Amino acid sequence: MSDEQTKNLDPRSFEERLFNELGSMRKQFSKLETRMAALEMRIGALEKRMDAIEERLTSLEERVDRRLLETRPMWEALQATMTRLDEKVGLMGRDLYDIRSDVSAHDKWLKEHERRLNS
């Protein structure tokens, strides 16, 4: 072996190098713990916000259900009224066509009689 290769070796002892590496790992682990704690806090805050949103949504759903119960009888009455109006309008339309038919028949009858009287 040449002297050049042995000059590049770390002069510290194995134990010293090991303790330095362990210290470095502890620092990195400490940083990771800090970051994890921060993430846990953020997740906790998100969970609280999510719980608040769920409460608001539940409250809103309950309010909508109550309003539906309140307005359902009015809506059903309105639908029944509209159905009756639709039937009446249909009946009026049929009556109008009957009247137009009768007027047309009477017009023909009058024209025929006028023609006979004038001839």
Q: Is the dihedral of CA 96, 101, 102, 104 positive or negative?
A: positive
- Each residue's pLDDT, cut to its tens digit, for the chain (119 residues) gives 555 665 566 778 888 888 888 888 998 999 999 999 999 999 999 999 999 999 999 999 999 999 989 998 999 999 999 999 999 999 999 999 999 999 999 999 999 998 888 87
Amino acid, single-letter form, for residue 77: A
Exposure of 41 by Cβ count < 10 A (0-12 exposed, 13-18 middle, 19+ buried)? exposed
N-term to C-term CA, the chain: 149
Give the whole-angstrom CA distance, residue 46 versus residue 39: 10
Where in the chain are the domains?
11-118
pLDDT digits (tens, 9 = 90+) for 84-112: 999 999 999 999 999 999 999 999 999 99
Counting every residue written for the chain, the total comes to: 119
